Chains A and B, each alone.
Chain A
Amino acid sequence: MSSPRAALAWFRAWGRAVLFAFAAAAAALSFSAYTARTRALAVRQVYHGAWPVLPGFTLFIAFLSLVVIQITISVAREFDLAQFALELVFRAVVLELVPLLTALYVALRSGAAINTEVALMQMTGGLDELRTSNIDPYEREFVPRIAAAVISIFALSIVSCTVVMVIAYTVMYGYTPWGFAEYTRTVARVFGPAALAGLIVKCFAFGVVVAVIPIAAGLEATRDAHSVPIAVMGGMVRLFVALALIELLALAVQYV
């Protein structure tokens, strides 16, 4: 495979992912997508995507943020910049690190599963069967997975961010209520309407790409069994690039 052709294939794959995203958005906005079956699948997907991992993931984020916050605050105190430590923690850990880590975790866990599932459905002809029996695979299989990914990322992000904020307070002020006023002022300074809206949009984008790119990549699989790992690999790489791009874009919009 020559490199121009590879580049062309790369562009095509991205183009297909974008096209699929539009088609999925159209399906999600159409009223017919909201059936009891779609809802049931979404509930299952949310359950499998978020519920079992919630305690473990929250614990992991808690330990990680504890270390990061402890380092940030002690270094800031050393340099006599303690008044900026909490703001730095909020901006770096709560607004950026936790949502990105959540998205990566859900991508590794659910994204890879969706990618493989769709590729196998494509290989075994399951999707073709649906189409021949006049069932829209978007409504039946894709939209519930996308919705489930978005909900999972939101749920995990919000729970982890809350835990991180509690840890930040404890590390900064200890077990005393007297830091609350200062803490509240820092929250006011960091979590303005723009920051909150940015966080919501970013989490939504993370959730969408975590489902859309693996599904679009899975659809590239053929009846050939060898096409499945290639489709999964390409999909996961594109997912990683997409997540990094979204994070970069969010940072650029907020700080550049």
Chain B
Amino acid sequence: MAEREGFTAVPKNLQFRVGLLLGLTIMVAAGFVLYALYARGVFEATQRLTLVSDNAEGVSIGMDLTFSGFPIGRVERISLADDGRARIEIEVPKKDAKWLRASSIFTLERGIVGGARIRAFTGNLQDQPLPDGAERVVLRGDATEEIPRMVATLRSVLENVEQMTAADGSIQASLANLRGLSERLAGPHGALGALLGSEEEAKKLLAAIERANTLMASLAGVSRKVEGLVGKTDERLFGQGGILDGTQAAVVQVNAVLGEMRETLKKADQLIAEAQQISGSAKAATTDLAALRAEVEATLRRVSALIEEVNRKWPFQRDTEIRLP
């Protein structure tokens, strides 16, 4: 055959080298493809988590979901739902799903530089595990959105500072006052002068304190005297043979006299009644005696009332304790 003409067989070592090169290339390529598949989590079980956000700006497929700074999941798909909200679908390997609990919170943050970050926060790791296919609303924080507000706030702060530090501003006035105060503190009457505003006032205050001191001394003397007086009065009133003792004795005597008088009058009454009985029929003759008897009875009542009144007014008889008003 014409094709066979000029055909020289390839040397064995050349064949071997080419085979080695091809084998190595294919092995490395296959190994790399397997590694890439492993890296993409093809060989591990995953569970799905859908985050709902009103804005998925900065989110890209392949982005990490981090927990405590460690990636535990990857964004697989981003879509716009019918309600106009973004749905971020994340694949979380089963071995990392333990960090996500039913109470976990998800945030989407955008920094000034770099892409967005999706983070998970789990307060209670003992909580129920997050179920597969769970759907959560993501909390969004955007540093660039904060900037205009921050600048506005900063400007007003700077204006305030400027006003305060101006030549006629409050800080300057306060500093001037402070200087005057420190000068007075260094003056002859020190802090007192600074407090009262002038040397004269300070002197007056010192004099007033002096006077108050002497007044206090004399008041102490007075109070000592008063104390002595009170002691004596006490003795007079309540001591052995004091005024109150005497009064009590006198009242007891009056009571006894009055009691005796009542007894006497009772006897007289009895006598009169007997006399009435004796005089029996001679009633008419004894009308004077009846009048007399009525008079005696009235007197007796008055005396009784008097005794009761004395008893009421002087409670010594039953209660010997004396209460001073």
Contacts and interface: CB of A to CB of B under 8 A. Distances in A.
Contacts of B25: 154-155, 158-159
Nearest to B27: A158
Q: For the side of the interface on B, what is the size category? A: 20 to 34
Contacts of B40: 188, 192
B278 interface: no
Contacts of B21: 46, 50-51, 54, 155
Interface residues of A, number: 33
Interface string A152-193: 001100110010000000000000000000001101110110
A211 B140 CA distance: 54
A154 B28 CA distance: 11
A81 B114 contact: yes
A217 interface: no
Contacts of A159: 24-25, 28
Given A158-B28, A159-B28, A43 B18 contact: yes
A43 B114 contact: no
B190 interface: no
B22 A189 contact: no
A209 interface: no
Contacts of A196: 33, 36
Nearest to B42: A188
Contacts of A83: 114
Contact of B113 (A35, A81, A135): A81
Interface in A31-55: 35-37, 40, 43-44, 46-47, 50-51, 54
A112 interface: no
Contacts of B22: 46, 151, 155
A84 interface: yes
Interface string B1-25: 0111001111000110110011011
A133 B114 contact: no
A2 interface: no
Interface string A48-88: 00110010000000000000000000000000110110000
Contacts of A3: none
Contacts of B7: 36-37, 40
B299 to A, nearest CB: 123
Contacts of B32: 158, 162, 191
Tell me whether chain A's interface is mostly helix, strand or loop, or mixed.
helix
Contacts, number: 76
Contacts of A50: 21
Contact of A44 (B14, B28, B114): B14
B36 A37 contact: no
A134 interface: yes
B197 interface: no
B10 A40 contact: yes
B29 interface: yes
Nearest to A155: B25
Contacts of B38: 184
B62 A40 contact: no
B109 interface: no
Given A155-B22, A192-B40, A192-B62, A84 B114 contact: yes
B62 A188 contact: yes
B39 interface: yes
B153 to A, nearest CB: 26
B22 to A, nearest CB: 7
B9 A40 contact: yes
Nearest first, the 7 A-B pairs at minimum CB distance are: A188-B39, A155-B25, A191-B36, A189-B62, A188-B40, A184-B39, A187-B39
Given A43-B15, A54-B21, A151-B22, 8 more contacts: A84-B114, A155-B24, A159-B24, A184-B35, A187-B39, A188-B62, A189-B74, A192-B40
16 contacts: A36-B7, A37-B3, A37-B7, A43-B10, A44-B10, A47-B17, A51-B18, A54-B21, A154-B25, A185-B39, A187-B36, A188-B41, A188-B74, A191-B36, A192-B40, A196-B36
